[in-house]
Amino acid sequence: MPLAYFDHNATTPLDERVVAAMLPYFREHYGNPSSRHEYGREARRAVDTAREQVAQAVGAHPSQVLFCSGGSEANNLAIKGGTAYLSPAQVVVSAIEHPCVAKPARELQERGWTCRTVAVSPHGEISTDDLKSALESPTGLVCAMLANNETGVVQDISGLSEIAQERGALLHTDAVQALGKIKIDFAALGVDSLSISAHKAYGPKGVGALVVGRRVDLKAQISGAGHEKGLRAGTENVPGIVGFGMACELAVRQLADYENRIGALRDEFERELSALGATIFGSSARRLANTSFFAFPRIEGETLVMALDNVGYAVASGAACSSGTASATLLAMGVDNQLGRGAVRVSLGRDTTGAQVGGLLRALQNEVARLRGLSAMKV
Amino acid sequence: MVKTPVYLDYSATTPVDPRVAEKMIPYLVEKFGNPASRSHPFGWAAEEAVEQAREQVAALVNADPKEIVWTSGATESNNLAIKGAAHFYSGKGKHLVTMLTEHKAVLDTMRHLESEGFEVTYLAPESNGLVNPETFKAALRPDTILASVMLVNNEIGVIQDIETLGDICRGKGVLFHVDAAQGTGKVAIDLRKLKVDLMSFSAHKTYGPKGIGALYVQRKPRVRLEAQMHGGGHERGMRSGTLATHQIVGMGEAFRIAREEMVTENARIRALRDRLYAGLSKIEEVHLNGDLESRVPHNLNMSFNFVEGESLIMAVRDLAVSSGSACTSASLEPSYVLRALGRSDELAHSSIRFTIGRFTTEDEVDFAIDLMTRNIGRLREMSPLWDMFKEGIDLSTVKWAAH
């Protein structure tokens, strides 16, 4: 069994309180929420409660929360569904979006839209100048993620939304990595839609939500028997939704502690990393407290990741979804391709201890030294 | 003694089998890795579990595991199959064929395609709920690209002759999609024999969890689809999105159990259903909806004449049953499936679907018979229409005065 899990941005274990909340809905309270009898009504109440919990966690109204099967679906729904009733125009995407935003945005080109990418600074922040210049063309939708899954860089979304609104464009933000790590306030962000996913916040895989504001005229992408006010058909994943609700409630409760405690651990970790000669990507931008994306010169990220796995540390080289390919985010930040290939992502979690971080540091030192063919450095 | 309400609504959803729940829990707790994480054992363990489940699903239907694509449920599978194929093959034609009695997940998807400029023919069934193969064949045109017919109807439980329909489609070069959500574990499905190109599966109708399903996409001859969800390229690009390991493990285990226990379970359930039918048939003026022979053993859908629909539903509160399909029971519209069979509005309104399942007992069936018998009697005593019927008045000759 591995010693320590440092890949929380890929997925998280379920909080035991989330598991406890979900279990009754598999075996005892198994009704279909659309059934009119008590089994169904009870399931419906559970979904309604969860909807309130999710809404509260992101500063939205329950009627704005649409449940679906995860972050990928929520992003697809926002982009394809949010533009379906608009005349084809331009869709603007930042250069660092997750593929489940970038690809649907590109797909809009099949419908006569043009797709324009907005650059980021070397620190990983979306360029407001480039955004303004992009918005000189009539734009229907802008996509800018709240927190990047690789670098952890957090964008000034409310600033970007002012710019988008001024030009009459909708703004969608992928907040999947932000839930449970920073405060999310749907109204304050000024966005038109926002996507979240349970399994990045100690909830179950297979469930997420799209939070939608008034200005969006959304067209359902999954048609059927009218669920979610006709916007997303399919029997509700009751246990998953219940788990998501509980995860959201817990996420909000621990936010302050998360930013302080985890941030301190991560910062200490990075001080040691820098002393070892690593480059840390996005370090001078505002970042999620748990994420450290770095590279050692002349050491392949994949190799270092495998080496760390061999000694019991689970980390990642870039996004889980695209393991094995070069990081588009780093290239967009102007990072040299050679250095970029060395990228390793370490993402701490709520249960990460100082001892585990210490162990990871020692392992890194040893593996880096070994890979460089040097004798092990004194710890 | 039975626990009320007695659950006789297995076609709406099923409890997760304890064996399924047991298999799922480790993947909710310790083995939580993202199956796409290639760099550590957390990810590898999850991926291995996903692939094992894929084999289990494929085994139930005699398909190649490579032909199974994970989705979030049968509704999504239906959308992916129909829209995905229609868009991919729209160069060959823009006509589709389906039945009036399909689930809304198919009908609404067809309507969506109509709004995009596709043309759809909706075929009516015979009064027993089955489509006439000659009628079906005649509906296929040179520009037809896809036909969709469900294996088992959710309301009346009738089983369509998918083998014959598949042969017809293959002969005419039309893709054949089958919504099998209500069929797994109830009817034998052999995709090496059936000429089916796309088939939708649901877990929660077969004692698996809600929120997970699959789509069979044939490889020989290969069927292409335009993906509906784009992103990280999961499922060979056909359906992006992090795979929910625990859900998939649950579906795999549910389908394994279905394969192993279907025959014995069906025999037991058929006996229970027939007992219920015999008991309810003792009531006067009851009608069975849908063919009795070509029907899954779990389903009994009956209309109770001269009883008002809403009061019937309220009277049988101690039974968890359904009048019309669960998904559309929020509206007071009579079941469109029963209307398609030719049932009058009144009979369609006063119908109840009883669906029996793995955990139904004989005591529960007897309880249902007793409750129905008493309540039908009571409601009819209060019904002026029943009085008139008993007096021999032909109600179709009555001129009703409007208020």
Torsion-angle region of residue B282: left (phi > 0), alpha (psi -120 to 50) or beta?
alpha
Q: Which stretch of A98-107, A312-321, B134-143 has the lowest confidence by average pLDDT? A: A312-321
| Confidence (pLDDT) at B332 | 61
Q: Tell me which residue has tokens 């007897």.
A: B366
Q: So which residues of B are the catalytic ones?
A: 327
- What's the pLDDT band for A300 if we cut at 50, 70, 90? confident
Q: Supply the pTM of this predicted model.
A: 0.94
- The residue type found at A49 is T
Looking at chain A, the whole-number percentage of residues with pLDDT higher than 90 is 91
- Looking up tokens 């989330």 gives A18
CB-based contact, B18 to chain A, within 8 Å = yes
Alpha helices in B116-244 (DSSP H): 133-139, 162-171
- Across the interface, of A14, A26, A324, the residue whose CB is closest to B209 is A26
Question: Cα dist. A258→A177, A250, A343, B75 in Å?
Answer: 14, 12, 25, 38
- Which residues lie closer than 8 Å to A106 by C-beta, 6 or more apart? A115
User: Per residue in A173-218, pLDDT tens?
Assistant: 999 999 999 999 999 999 999 999 999 999 999 999 999 999 999 9
Q: Give which of A189, A204, A77, A375 is closest to B211, Cα–Cα.
A: A204
B211 CB neighbours in chain A (<8 A) are: 69, 206-207, 235-237, 239-240
Detail the DSSP E strand segments found in A184-325.
193-197, 208-212, 279-280, 291-295, 313-314
Instruction: Give the mean pLDDT of B165-194.
Output: 98
Q: Average pLDDT, stretch B377-389?
A: 88
Q: Are B50 and B245 in contact (CB under 8 A)?
A: yes
Whether B326 and A205 lie within 8 Å, measured CB to CB = no
**DSSP type of residue A147:** B
Q: Which residue has the higher pLDDT, B335 or A231?
A: A231
Contact list in A for residue B321 (CB cut-off 8 A) is 37
pLDDT-derived band at A379 (thresholds 50, 70, 90) equals very low
**CA pair distance A362, A370, nearest whole angstrom:** 12
Burial B199-229 (b: 16+ CB within 10 A, else e): bbbbbbbbbbbbbbbbbbbbeeeebebbbbb
Distance (Å, rounded) from C-alpha B299 to C-alpha A104?
42
Average pLDDT for chain A: 94
Pairing of strands A170-174, A193-197: parallel
Model confidence pLDDT, tens digit, residues B65-94: 999 999 999 999 999 999 999 999 999 999
Q: Complex ipTM above 0.90?
A: yes
pLDDT above 70 covers a percentage of chain A that reads 96
Q: Cα–Cα distances in Å, from B11 out to A31, A67, B155?
A: 11, 23, 8
CA distance B394 to B398: 7
> Which among B39, B103, B232 is the nearest to A322, CB-wise?
B232
Mean pLDDT of B264-292: 96
Structure tokens at A312: 């019991």
Cβ–Cβ pairs < 8 A, chains A and B: 273
Structure tokens at A204: 């179950």
Q: What one-character-per-residue DSSP string does A313-327 give? A: EE-BSS-GGGTTS--
Confidence band (pLDDT; 50, 70, 90) for A377?
very low
pLDDT at B57: 98
- Tally helices (H) and strands (E) across chain B: 12, 12
pLDDT of residue A374: 55
Residue B361: phi and psi, rounded to 5, are: -110, 165
Task: For the beta carbon of residue A71, count every other beta carbon within 10 angstroms.
Answer: 30
pLDDT at position B22 over 70: yes
| Ramachandran region, residue A191 (left: φ > 0; alpha: ψ -120 to 50; beta: rest) | beta
Look at residue B331 and tell me whether its pLDDT is greater than 90.
no
- The nearest alpha carbon in chain A to B316 belongs to A37
Q: Which domains does chain A have, with CATH numbers?
A: 4-11+255-378 (3.90.1150.10), 16-250 (3.40.640.10)
Report yes or no: B74 and B202 within 8 Å, Cβ to Cβ: yes
Q: Determine the average pLDDT of the residues in A287-309.
A: 94
Taking CB atoms and an 8 Å limit, are B109 and A224 in contact across chains?
Answer: yes
Per-residue confidence at A326, pLDDT binned at 50, 70, 90? low
Confidence of residue B312 (pLDDT cuts 50, 70, 90): confident
Does a cis peptide bond (omega within 30 degrees of 0) precede residue B221?
A: yes
Question: For residue range A117-172, what is the model confidence (pLDDT) as tens digits?
Answer: 999 999 999 999 999 999 999 999 999 999 999 999 999 999 999 999 999 999 99
